[in-house]
Structure 1
Amino acid sequence: MLDVIHVNSLPVFLLILVRVATFFATMPLFSYRTIPRPFKLGLSFFLAFLIFYTVDAPALAVDGHYFLLILKEAAVGLLIGLIAYIILSAVQIAGGFIDFQMGFAIANVIDPQTGAQSPLTGQYFYIVALLFLLSVNGHHILIDGMINSYQFIPIEQFVPFQNESIVRYVIDSFNYMFLIAFQIAIPIVGCLFLVDVALGIVARTVPQLNVFVVGLPLKILVSFIVLLFFMSLYVVLAKHLFEVLFETVRSLTNLFGGG
């Protein structure tokens, strides 16, 4: 390996490896527990090895300035992968809104990919979204965006983390994630709200009928029927979600580079 990578270029290669490895640590799909760690490390190493020959960086000395660059590379990789994960989490937030109206709010399941509890409908939407992401080679686009980040954020350049525009952009992206989640959930939540209104009218007109016994299975039945017709619209919203995800990653790397 020393014959392939010159000893003087090892500091540059390590900086590339840090950014790639931290990006895979938070990126959707590659950061999940179900993917073995040796696979993540091996993929990060070989991808960094390929990027090493495409990045034009000067020789760096191992000193105090170099360790600051390591922290910068780790922060850039983590933030780029994390912003992509936050945008994709809009699917699970939408599932939480739906489950709350369906009566499934207490019936959470353990997500084996992240180890956290997730709503039933949100987990179903999330699996479909991941399959759609893989079918359109979205993971290739994310990796390509990380590789292109070296054009915006050179290795030897410090990132202006004190830049207010970066913080504002991350906050706006986080807020927009909830807006997308509301757009995904509003068809089913709106129909269940109409069911609640109908049950309230029935409870006032027919006091003998126990709406608490009838209402829960009725809302579950209506939500499944609406969900059956809603899946085609959900694919369109998922496509819009991925477009927002890719645009957010590109804009964030541009802001990191001072653009």
Structure 2
Amino acid sequence: MISLIDLSKVPGLLLIFMRVTAFFVTLPLFSYRNMPTQHKIGFSAFLALLMYFTIDVPVILLDETFILLILKEALVGLLVGFIAYLILAAIQIAGGFIDFQMGFAIANVIDPQTGVQSPLIGQYLYTFTLLFLLAVNGHHLLIDGVFYSYEVIPMNQVSIPFGEGSIAEFVVFTFNKMFIVAFQMAMPVVGCLFLVDVALGIIARTVPQLNVFVVGLPLKIFVSFVVIIISFGMFSILVENLFEFMLVTMRDLMSLMGGA
């Protein structure tokens, strides 16, 4: 295997390894702490070696420009993986909206994948989303995004056009779109719970003897679970559209960083 590697292109192999490793640092599903670090590094090295024999690796000299190229490759991998993680964060935000209306916002769980606190319903929906991602081989498309990045962001490109402001504007637009998708996912449950609150308010005015605070919480929990079960088909469609939007967003971000 070593004899097949051109020594003049070893710096290019190192740059590929840097981009792939940085990509897996922030990419959903591959960046979680329940995946051992040794496996992440080994898989990144194996994938970088496959890409070395697949793409046209230019001859890069080991000079001061090589340090800038390493920083650029790390930044490209981190940004592309982060934009994918930002899109999937809409699931957690939608769960936060639902938990706040259900009364579950007082209790959070520790996400074993990221090590941070997450809402109960948000964690459930996020786990379902990851399983759906694996079922449709979405993780293969995410890895394919790393390979596609070399078509729009050349390895010997030293700088990224941050000064034009288009990348920052694109990230803000993606952030805004993430909240819109989260609101669409949570809207059936939140809308039904709003009607339940209105009904409880009317009951509290007409029947003062009834303690709506005691009746309201279990009623809202029951209605929430019923609506979640009923709207699960629509949620699956939204998750599928979310995956498509995530892949398109990754492609557009890489095009902007490549100066296209």
The reply to whether TM is greater than 0.5 is yes
Q: What are structure 2's unaligned runs of at least 5 residues?
A: none
Give the corresponding residue for 2:200: 199
Query: Please, what TM-score do these two structures have when normalized by structure 2?
Result: 0.98
1: CA distance, partners of 2:58 / 2:151: 14
Q: Name the aligned partner's letter for residue 55 of structure 1.
A: I
SS at match of 1:221: helix
1: CA distance, partners of 2:224 / 2:42: 44
2: CA distance, partners of 1:65 / 1:246: 31
2: CA distance, partners of 1:35 / 1:162: 36
1: CA distance, partners of 2:121 / 2:254: 33
Deviates more, 1:121-130 or 1:1-10: 1-10
SS at match of 1:105: helix
Q: Name the aligned partner's letter for residue 69 of structure 2.
A: L
Deviates more, 1:197-206 or 1:49-58: 49-58
Give the corresponding residue for 1:56: 56
Q: Name the aligned partner's letter for residue 189 of structure 1.
A: V
Shift of 1:174: 0.8
Q: Name the aligned partner's letter for residue 19 of structure 1.
A: R
Give the corresponding residue for 2:221: 220
Q: Name the aligned partner's letter for residue 119 of structure 1.
A: P
Deviations 1:125-158 (A, max 9, x none): 0011111111111010111111110000000013
Q: Name the aligned partner's letter for residue 163 of structure 1.
A: E
Q: Name the aligned partner's letter for residue 38 of structure 1.
A: Q
For these two proteins, the number of residue pairs brought into alignment is: 259
RMSD: 0.9
Shift of 1:161: 2.3
Query: Contact 1:24 / 1:30 at 8 angstroms: preserved in 2?
Result: yes
Shift of 1:61: 1.2
Task: Using the aligned pairs only, state the percent identity.
Answer: 61
Deviations 1:164-195 (A, max 9, x none): 11110011001100000000000000000000
Give the corresponding residue for 1:241: 242
Shift of 1:216: 0.5
Query: Contact 1:57 / 1:156 at 8 angstroms: preserved in 2?
Result: no
Query: Please, what TM-score do these two structures have when normalized by structure 1?
Result: 0.98
2: CA distance, partners of 1:29 / 1:73: 21
After the TM superposition, list the runs of 4 or more consecutive aligned residues in structure 1 that deviate by more than 3 angstroms. Answer: none
Give the corresponding residue for 1:170: 171
> How does 1:44-83 map onto structure 2 within 5 Å?
44-83=44-83
Shift of 1:19: 0.2
Q: Name the aligned partner's letter for residue 83 of structure 2.
A: I
Give the corresponding residue for 1:256: 257
